[in-house]
Amino acid sequence: MSADGQGRRHWFDDEAGPVVRPYAMTRGRTSSQGQHRLDLIAVVVTELHADDPEADHMLSPEHVDIVELCRDTPQSVAELAAELDLPIGVVRVLVGDLVDAEFVHVNRPVPPAELPDESILRDVINGLRAL
């Protein structure tokens, strides 16, 4: 490697600035402490009683961004990942942290196995029409 560093790999993009690796945002974690299962379509909602996230020095800027994005309009995990330009795995860990800290809560979709059978719904509709 040369003394001027031209032979070394750059860890930054000249136009974008320093690159932060996803594992740095999650401190190397691949899941949150609470092991929250977060589907892509799980909806994240900021808690009404949530204080100003910027005042909590334990939260990263990405945590604060998630709380602020979900304050006015609930967002799915997939929407948050797209909006923040972060991998889904990173967003899941960050949202799990926020759930544990009670800044947000997550509304999970109903699993397909728990949805009523279509034939039952048709029978109900037919029964209502017969009245």
Residue range 68-120, pLDDT digits in tens: 999 889 999 999 999 988 888 888 888 988 888 889 999 887 666 666 778 88
Predicted TM-score (pTM) of the model is: 0.64
φ/ψ bin of 99: left (φ > 0), alpha (ψ from -120 to 50), beta (otherwise): alpha
Distance CA 5, CA 57 (A): 36
| Predicted confidence (pLDDT) at residue 65 exceeds the cutoff of 70 | yes
41-51 pLDDT per residue, tens: 889 999 887 77
Token look-up 């029964």 returns: 127
Query: In angstroms, rounded to a whole number, what is the distance separating the alpha carbons of residues 105 and 37?
Result: 12
Alpha helices, DSSP H, located in 21-131: 22-25, 61-72, 77-84, 88-100, 118-130
Rg (CA), the chain: 21
C-alpha to C-alpha distances, 6 to 9, 10, 11, 13, 113, nearest whole angstrom = 8, 9, 12, 14, 58
pLDDT in tens, 4-40: 455 445 445 556 555 556 666 666 665 666 556 788 8
